[in-house]
Structure 1
Amino acid sequence: MAIKRQIVKSILFYKNKYPILALTGPRQSGKTTLLRELFPDYQYISLENPDTRAFLQEDAKGFFEKYSKYCIFDEAQRVPELFSYLQTIVDESKIMGQFILSGSQNFLLLKNITQSLAGRVALFKLFPFDFWELKSANLLAKDYVDAMLKGSYPAIFDRDIPSRTFYNNYIQTYVERDIAEIINIRDMRTFRIFLSLCASRAGQLLNLNSLANECGITQPTAKSWISVLESSYILFLLQPYHKNFDKRVIKSPKLFFYDTGLLCHLLKIKDANQIRTHSYKGNIFENMIVSEYIKQNYHQNQMQEFWFWRDSAGHEVDLIRQDDDTLNVIEIKSTKTISADLFKGLNYFSALAKDTIKSQTLVYAGLDNQKRTIAEVVSWKDINNYI
């Protein structure tokens, strides 16, 4: 069955307001399927095809006589000169929604858009399924442990591919290939170790020196590899909220993966029972909830910013979302039992932030939602109703 994607509403809205739309996101997140279903009348051109790339590079005039308007250019970053041609065409034609670009290498795609197409492009990001999308198709797991382990890449659901098989192939076929195209990695085995070490730090403060030392690489190399993994939508860094509140605050970012299925695979977690007793269970649960907020932010095109907050004494709130000048504060706990201790972080932060707080939410692993004086208590499976 086809699963509805939240991002469709925004794409259709901006199609009539910009001459070019660009859709980026990780490989296998459903970009090509979405665009071909949404725009069946557009010509589809894959620039992964070497013959098509050669046609454009060797005979641009002939290429654009054939593909003059209403075209989808997939993996557009493959041919950087494409962007200059499109700039001239759309500036002359004034046609809205004339071209659609898609790509999986965010860094290269954005670089070309910034250089040639600034102000002409509406940019969107599509990630693997979010909870709203899975719930709408009755595919969201009933148990949070199963949801974390399975992950949310479309092929796992559409083609019923076992998660372990999918993620093993995904790393070899896409992640390693993309990384090798962007930077020169002489020893892929060392990079695989680096990727696993990143997984062991999910939900934790990023210490580049420690990560580099454990992997046997230099700190600049570790920084470069993190940057490439970010641009390939494998992981992201959540920055700390810097307002001091007269306390010393932590300035290092926290590391998260966009997909917990991939995270579990890298941690060599093979079944749900293993997660339940795993020392990283809390980190994986926090990762799933934080990434869900990030995914829904992009899928709903909200363009909000997110942080975490922690001071040097260890007081912390897991996620902060800004709403104009006020803050939505979220605490995340991998327990099914609600107790007073779960609200300590929220209580401490609310005493500091005071009038700047708009809402407080406790997301937990249970199934019941409650309205408490200090915060809304929300089940992990229902957070889409509170975003």
Structure 2
Amino acid sequence: MNKIYNRKYIPEIIKLSSYFPVVGIIGARQVGKTTIVKMLMHKLSKPLHYLDLESPSDYHKLQNPELYLSALNDKCVVIDEIQTKPELFPVLRSLIDKNNGESCQFIITGSATPDLLLQSTETLAGRIAYVDIHPFSIDELPGFISPEHHWFWGGFPKALFAPDDLLAAKWIENFIKTYIERDLRLLGLSAEPLFLRRFWTMLAHMNGNIVNYSTLSSSLGIAVNTVKRYIDFFEHAFLIHRLYSFSSNIKKRLVKSPKLFISDTGILHNLLGIKSLDELYGHPALGNSWEAYCINQILSTVREKYTASFFRTHDGSECDLVLSKGNVPCYSIEIKFSETPKLTRGNLFAFSTIKAKKNYIVVMKDERYPIKDNNEVVGIKNFIEELINQNQPTI
């Protein structure tokens, strides 16, 4: 029997379900959405009734959804992978309104963002709250999982907790294969699997860099607008994310194009053909992989509490990550894979220009010490703990 590890999203989901008629739990396939739902058993104000729309028998039960769901008024109905039956959204709205917007009526899960699940956004406006589920983050790791193991294999549960490296690698390869052959098509992206594999691999090689739509267009032989549409789709499916440029009134000309990151480093390493941690240490992608890992962990922690961006000028001054509240920069973060991290003149210029409340160099090692000009070196785990302590939820 597989052990179930606690996830940090449970208190938030419980709180939202006490107020909203519907809670939407969204994230990539296999990220742990169904497991989280099962962890909610006996923790909500109503008993759960679970429907998996990828099960033919459960799908068949909803041939007349209004009749079936009306009989479950005393339960919180979980509808798993709702994007497979989007015509349910108007029915849910009707049932919610008949019950005067009572809380904790439905929990829905989906493998696409609300922008992709357009009907949910339009039909359930004001009735639904969303919770984005990320792969396991560093603050959720049980003690027997090292940060290095987490960095290399990523945070998808079946890879992270696989009994050995061979099974972890096999699971990731099957995950990629299933996405390009089945899941992306089900979500609405019609393209040949070989093309999608090539496209995803090219994005992996672009990880941590400024997105060059023209280069992708030329290499793939498709229009720039098609490239942008595909990237939008991959982002909506939680496979990548873009980090946008810091907004400032400074006179220096800032790079405006976004940077692109693969959302899970286990997936990244597979797409790059990197087979082991030792191989990664000697690979040219080492620095960008570490940057992606740190940014993924930080964004998973701060979520909507901060606006994330990066700072780069055309003459090379840069800062990997800026966390702001409103228009006020709170953290300037430079990410280094080094035991003796040093700031360049460009980093120092970026820090002095951004004028954040705190400037950090984030490294792997669990340590913390000041360096010149009121800047501080901090390990990624220590920094995540600081962010959590600074933003304790009121639940």
Same fold (TM > 0.5) = yes
Q: Does 1:49 align with 2:42?
A: no
Per the alignment, residue 103 of structure 1 pairs with 110
Query: Are 1:21 and 1:101, in contact at CA under 8 Å, matched by a contact in 2?
Result: yes
Per the alignment, residue 358 of structure 1 pairs with 357
User: Of 70, 78, 81, which residue of structure 1 is paired with 2:84?
Assistant: 78
**Amino acid of the residue matched to residue 55 of structure 1?**
K
User: Of 15, 23, 26, which residue of structure 2 is paired with 1:24?
Assistant: 26
Query: Are 2:116 and 2:236, in contact at CA under 8 Å, matched by a contact in 1?
Result: no
CA deviations 1:12-45 (Å, max 9, x no partner) are 1222111111100011111001111213530000
Q: Does 1:277 align with 2:282?
A: yes
Query: Are 1:77 and 1:108, in contact at CA under 8 Å, matched by a contact in 2?
Result: no
Provide the C-alpha distance between the structure 2 equivalents of 1:5 and 1:184, rounded to a whole number of angstroms.
Answer: 30
Q: Does 1:147 align with 2:142?
A: no
Alignment coverage as a number of residue pairs: 375
User: Alpha-carbon deviation of 1:184?
Assistant: 5.0
Query: Are 1:337 and 1:366, in contact at CA under 8 Å, matched by a contact in 2?
Result: no
Q: Is there any run of 5+ residues in structure 2 with no aligned partner, and where?
A: 388-395
User: Alpha-carbon deviation of 1:194?
Assistant: 1.0
Per the alignment, residue 377 of structure 1 pairs with 377
Provide the C-alpha distance between the structure 2 equivalents of 1:309 and 1:338, rounded to a whole number of angstroms.
Answer: 19
User: Alpha-carbon deviation of 1:51?
Assistant: 4.0
User: Alpha-carbon deviation of 1:277?
Assistant: 1.2
3-state DSSP class of the match of 1:91? Answer: helix
Q: Does 1:209 align with 2:214?
A: yes
**Amino acid of the residue matched to residue 118 of structure 1?**
A
Summarize the Cα distance change of 1:86–1:218 in structure 2 as closer, same or farther, 3 Å threshold.
same
Query: What pairs up with 1:279-358 in 2 under 5 angstroms?
Result: 279-298=284-303, 302-327=304-329, 328-339=331-342, 342=343, 344-354=345-355, 357-358=356-357
User: Alpha-carbon deviation of 1:158?
Assistant: 4.2
Q: Does 1:4 align with 2:10?
A: no
Provide the C-alpha distance between the structure 1 equivalents of 2:354 and 2:194, rounded to a whole number of angstroms.
Answer: 46
Provide the C-alpha distance between the structure 1 equivalents of 2:116 and 2:256, rounded to a whole number of angstroms.
Answer: 30
User: Alpha-carbon deviation of 1:107?
Assistant: 4.9
CA deviations 1:222-267 (Å, max 9, x no partner) are 2121111111111011111121411111010000011101000000
Provide the C-alpha distance between the structure 2 equivalents of 1:83 and 1:188, rounded to a whole number of angstroms.
Answer: 30
Summarize the Cα distance change of 1:330–1:345 in structure 2 as closer, same or farther, 3 Å threshold.
farther
Q: For structure 1, which segment, 154-163 or 241-250, has the greater mean C-alpha deviation from structure 2 after superposition?
A: 154-163
3-state DSSP class of the match of 1:236? Answer: strand
Identity across matched positions, percent: 28
Ranked by relative contact order (alpha carbons within 8 Å, sequence separation 6 or more), the top structure is 1
Provide the C-alpha distance between the structure 2 equivalents of 1:363 and 1:297, rounded to a whole number of angstroms.
Answer: 16
CA deviations 1:37-67 (Å, max 9, x no partner) are 21353000011224433432x3234322344
User: Of 228, 250, 254, which residue of structure 1 is paired with 2:259?
Assistant: 254
Summarize the Cα distance change of 1:184–1:360 in structure 2 as closer, same or farther, 3 Å threshold.
closer
Q: Is there any run of 5+ residues in structure 1 with no aligned partner, and where?
A: none
User: Alpha-carbon deviation of 1:4?
Assistant: 1.9
Return the structure number with greater helix share.
1
Query: Are 2:153 and 2:160, in contact at CA under 8 Å, matched by a contact in 1?
Result: no
Query: Are 1:245 and 1:353, in contact at CA under 8 Å, matched by a contact in 2?
Result: no
Summarize the Cα distance change of 1:184–1:288 in structure 2 as closer, same or farther, 3 Å threshold.
closer
Q: TM-score, normalised by structure 1?
A: 0.91
3-state DSSP class of the match of 2:29? Answer: coil
3-state DSSP class of the match of 2:353? Answer: helix
3-state DSSP class of the match of 1:106? Answer: coil
Provide the C-alpha distance between the structure 2 equivalents of 1:277 and 1:157, rounded to a whole number of angstroms.
Answer: 22
Query: Are 1:259 and 1:291, in contact at CA under 8 Å, matched by a contact in 2?
Result: yes
Provide the C-alpha distance between the structure 2 equivalents of 1:225 and 1:353, rounded to a whole number of angstroms.
Answer: 33
Per the alignment, residue 223 of structure 1 pairs with 228
User: Alpha-carbon deviation of 1:296?
Assistant: 1.4
